[in-house]
Structure 1
Amino acid sequence: MSLFDKATYVHVCAFYGIDYKTFSMPLHSHRRCEIMYVAQGQCRIDTADSSEIFHENEFIFLDENVQHSLNVKNGRCKIFNLEFECSRSATSLSITKLCQADETFRQFLTKPRPYVSGTDSSSLGSAMRDCVAELTQHGDTTYLFTLLFQRVLLELARCIQHNIPSKSMGYINCAESFIQAHFQEELRAEDIAKAAGIHPSYLQVLFHRHFGCGIMTHVNRHRLATARLLLQNTDRGIEAIAGEVGYNSRQHFGSAFKKAFHVSPQEYRKLYGVRL
């Protein structure tokens, strides 16, 4: 059940505080909501339609059933993680009561979204650390844990409220909207920058800073993420999918797909496709 269904209770299912050096997981989903907080270093978190580099003091909240993966390459990255289920079964953590007690949290729940990321503008990091420490030492049955987890949710809502897009983020958002609307067409970095209203070289800098890659690499990631969903959930031919996501040839599409996911489109469909 989604966190945005206010008449629910929360049960924590998993948690960790881990120092990663190198780590990679496949794109997956589960019925749990999840908060990942980068305490040190950097990592890449992918969803079905995006790929974003996260740095120290940045976080992502994922609602239930959102496909995602975590990747750390050649460097230290410390992450605090909390995974929790929302259900009608009563626990000490009532979303309804928290909404009644805090206006910021109530406002957060009025805008459902599959995931949201941002920078810690308050004390979310210390709240995550303290909550994970309490779970590690005493489990989820203590009154202190209830208070600490409520604090995590309140700090999360506060951070999201305060993460008002800067001018740079405005350019990125404009570019991203243009890409999502036109990725099936032949695109150039110059076209995307023009739509965003800035010089292409400056937009390249912003994309490298925010996504960890250049403009066209990001476009191709979006194309391939869309292709992966089509391979999983439709019976359309490979050539049709290639054209639908913006590739001019099946060969170019197949080569790009295998480079990204280490299997061909045909093999991917055999492994993960839903039988229709």
Structure 2
Amino acid sequence: MLRRDNVPFYMEMTACDTLCGLHSLSGQDTGTENQLIYVANGCCRVNLPDKDIRPAYRNIIYLHRNVKYDLEVPEGETNLVYRIHFLPSADPVHLDLDSMCRNSDTMDGFMHYRNRYCFLIDQENIASTINELIREFHGSSPQRNSMITALLTILYIKMARSFFTKRKAAGISYISLAKKYIAEHSSDPMTIQQIADNVGISRSHLESLFSKYAGRRITTHINTVRVDRAAALLTLTRKDVLEIALEVGYENRQHFAREFRRRYSVSPSQYRKLYGTPHLSGTQPSGGTKQPPES
């Protein structure tokens, strides 16, 4: 929840800077503000303490409180960047962001993102809302404050949606990278920490992504890859069961046999008798190739 001393607060749009052409703003600090940097045309550069971001057309950077940064807009008639300033307010005429966070996990996650800044690619037509918001802010139409509050509500909802759409895509991408690493190294001793380090995220985050998007634990996936490869070797080669167990990444026969039976409901030796290639195993298969359960 977004509260100050356990008192609900409201978000007010207080200023909008128009940066056209060459600008170099070093030593910026959001302080008590939240700020939004929107590239209406061209590009710019935002240098944060841990990252250098170069947003382009329709990209957005949302900065939370106490973020230090440098902002550079390169020379060129086509470059147009807006910087919008937001401040907490006690006046309920403004956006009730506190209630929005309490009533929406998506909004709460967006506003409490641990990095203190969010880079957004416009996937919700945020640009049209920002442009309308800027026009309304600089105008003097009837019910101006009500319109600004309504547009801010839409803006924050769209930003939260874009943020989580991006995170879902990123999460699936991380899973793909992890699966690729597992497939290429399934025969090697492997820890979840090694996989996470290779992918570039924390172990806990990788485990959470697997549970959320793959529907199973990462250790289950590792065992599935190894056991399925073992099943093929049992079917197509005369290699000893222990040799196969070691080849696919298990350190002993007992662990391998336990995981194999969990997936195929028979022991490795029974599997070979049932489905081994006749001219290799000396036995006649009794029923085609065994298909593992859906995983």
> If the length of structure 1 is used for normalisation, what is the TM-score?
0.54
**Which of 142, 145, 149 is the equivalent residue of 1:142?**
145
1:72-122 deviation digits (Å, cap 9, x = unpaired): 223332123211112445443111332356553244235444111121111
- Give the aligned partner of residue 27 of structure 1: 27
- 8 Å contact kept, 1:17–1:80: yes
Residue-by-residue CA offset, 1:207-238 (whole Å, 9 max, x unaligned):
xxxxxxxxxxxxxxxxxxxxxxxxxxxxxxxx
Q: Which residue of 2 aligns with 1:44?
A: 45
Q: Offset of 1:137 from its aligned partner?
A: 0.6
Aligned residue identity for 2:38: Y
In structure 2, the partner of 1:108 is 110
SS of residue matched to 2:27:
coil
Code of the aligned partner of 1:45: V
Higher relative contact order (CA 8 A, sep 6+): 1
Q: Which residue is 1:250 aligned to?
A: none
- Percent of pairs with identical residues: 19
Letter in 2 for 1:50: K
Given that 1:24 and 1:70 are in contact with CA atoms closer than 8 Å, whether structure 2 keeps it comes out as yes
After superposition, what is the alpha-carbon deviation per residue over 1:165-187, rounded to whole angstroms, capped at 9, x for unaligned? 549986xxx9xxxxxxxxxxxxx
1:142 CA drift (Å): 2.4
Return the alpha-carbon distance in structure 2 between the equivalents of residues 3 and 113 of structure 1. 16
1:95 to 94, 97, 105: 97
SS in 1 for 2:87: strand
Amino acid at match of 1:61: Y
Partner of 2:83: 81
Cα distance in 1 for partners of 2:34, 2:199 equals: 33
2-structure distance, mates of 1:152, 1:128? 7
Q: In structure 1, give the amino acid aligned to 2:135.
A: A
Q: Where do 5+ consecutive residues of structure 2 fail to align? A: 179-196, 201-295
Match of 1:159 in 2: 162
Which amino acid in 1 is paired with 2:118?
Answer: V
